[in-house]
Amino acid sequence: MRIYDIIAKKRDGGVLTQPEIAFAVEGYVRGDIPDYQMSALLMAIYLRGMTDRETAELTEVMAKSGDMVDLSAIAGVKVDKHSTGGVGDKTTLIMAPMVAACGVKIAKMSGRGLGHTGGTVDKMEAVPGTRTALTQAEFFAQVNQIGISVIGQSGQIAAADKKLYALRDVTATVGCIPLIASSIMSKKLAAGSDAILLDVTMGDGAFMKTLDDALELARLMVAIGTAHGRQVAALITDMDTPLGQNIGNAMEVAECVAVLKGHGPADLTEVCVQLAANMLWLAGRGELAACRAMAEQTLADGTAFLKCCQLFAAQGGDISVLKDPKTFKQAAYRYELTAKTDGFIMKNDVEKIGNASVLLGAGRLKKEDGIDFSAGITMHKKLGDRVQSGDAICTFYANDPALFPAAEQMYRDGLVIGPEKPVLPPLVYARVTKDGVERF
């Protein structure tokens, strides 16, 4: 077999066989196939697509390229959740404790932020002392003891994805449904949970810009997971505006605490309740309506907040900042960005908001970059809100005032204030299970 022939076959619209897919991926991971040939194959896949069978086979080969975690040492049903990425997307730190507070085990590996999107592991590390790299024995023991652990993804999970994703990132081949589906599902299958809830974000700030694409990605991922014997469902959630008001690591944790204590932003709370309800449903805890009531109860009676504190304390975090988020280290400087005209916020580009937060120090452009946990943005006016000239639209926080002008330019580039109130998108567009699509 020659990689040249596999590239040519896909370039001409052919359907690859399992041995051809395995030859390409395994050869690339071993270093036998160079980046330039794998780049050509990725571009051919990007342009020609893959059948469902090819995508499922690619996923399996990628999953088996690293460790396949065996969670059987943890008693009970283990559930996992994955978001396809967003800005101000802090749902894991809210819904995972909600679900664990209902007695369903969460053994979760999360990622770091890259580019304009944030990552759960960085947010966790904003709580001083929190360890996100546990040994497998520590990870299992913690889940058995308190029902929840959230750690960073180890280098051994889906090794092919790590290498392929880095290559896709620099060859303009990220935005391709079969490649995204196989990337996400290879990691989820390897991570070993029995049930997987997928949060497929859609809109300006997401990989999926249209509902049709989001539904297609969700359908494909649900089918791949189901074929591997996992319980899988997906919610298509909106990313035309960030969830909640805060973007930036410590500020997002503070907002999570507000939701867990029952006084967080309504949009963030509602999405977390729906995600938690669906995870409980996947874990077999009853009808969706009963699962929703269970999830809501954990916010009302404080058990989700207690579980969150237990999670951080078990991983070495100083939970005094959760008990009183005002004690988080604050940024030294703040800057208020004001409206220059009257009207409604008709557009507030999410990617640009995310990039503005990165410019303030809250995210990283390269994997090696450091993060300023106290930097970020609080949005006072969001999509659809009425503003008057001079109103504060958002506040920037940073430790160097020289960062404000570029962040302001970035934020304003994506901001449109106009005469008409836009029609606001729903928070959740649809739910996809193996039985079909439910649109809301």
Q: Give me the residues that bind ligand URA (CB under 6 A), please.
A: 84-85, 165, 174, 179-180, 183-184, 207
Considering the complex, state which of residue 192 and residue 317 has its C-beta at the smaller distance from ligand URA: 192
User: Under DSSP, is residue 432 helix (H, G, I), strand (E, B) or coil?
Assistant: strand
Considering the complex, state which of residue 88 and residue 147 has its C-beta at the smaller distance from ligand URA: 88
Smallest gap, in angstroms, from Cβ of residue 174 to ligand URA? Answer: 6
> Which of 64, 81, 82, 352 is flagged as catalytic?
82
Considering the complex, state which of residue 84 and residue 310 has its C-beta at the smaller distance from ligand URA: 84
Mapping DSSP onto H, E and C, the string for 220-272 reads: HHHHHHHHCCCEEEEEEEECCCCCCCEECHHHHHHHHHHHHCCCCCHHHHHHH
Neighbours of 5 (CB within 10 A): 12
Considering the complex, state which of residue 56 and residue 179 has its C-beta at the smaller distance from ligand URA: 179
**Catalytic residue status for 53:** no
> Which of 168, 188, 230, 352 is flagged as catalytic?
168
> Which of 65, 83, 149, 183 is flagged as catalytic?
183
Smallest gap, in angstroms, from Cβ of residue 113 to ligand URA? Answer: 12
Q: Are 336 and 360 in contact (CB under 8 A)?
A: no
Considering the complex, state which of residue 169 and residue 342 has its C-beta at the smaller distance from ligand URA: 169
> Among residues 432, 434, 433, 12, which one has the least CA distance to residue 213?
432
Smallest gap, in angstroms, from Cβ of residue 170 to ligand URA? Answer: 13
Q: How far apart are CA 234 and CA 212, in angstroms?
A: 14
Smallest gap, in angstroms, from Cβ of residue 164 to ligand URA? Answer: 9
Q: How far apart are CA 132 and CA 125, in angstroms?
A: 7
**Catalytic residue status for 161:** yes
Residue with smallest beta-carbon separation from ligand URA: 183
> Which of 10, 64, 187, 219 is flagged as catalytic?
187
Smallest gap, in angstroms, from Cβ of residue 85 to ligand URA? Answer: 5
Neighbours of 228 (CB within 10 A): 16
**Catalytic residue status for 149:** no
Q: How far apart are CA 399 and CA 377, in angstroms?
A: 13
Q: Are 398 and 333 in contact (CB under 8 A)?
A: yes
* Active-site amino acid positions: 82, 161, 168, 183, 187
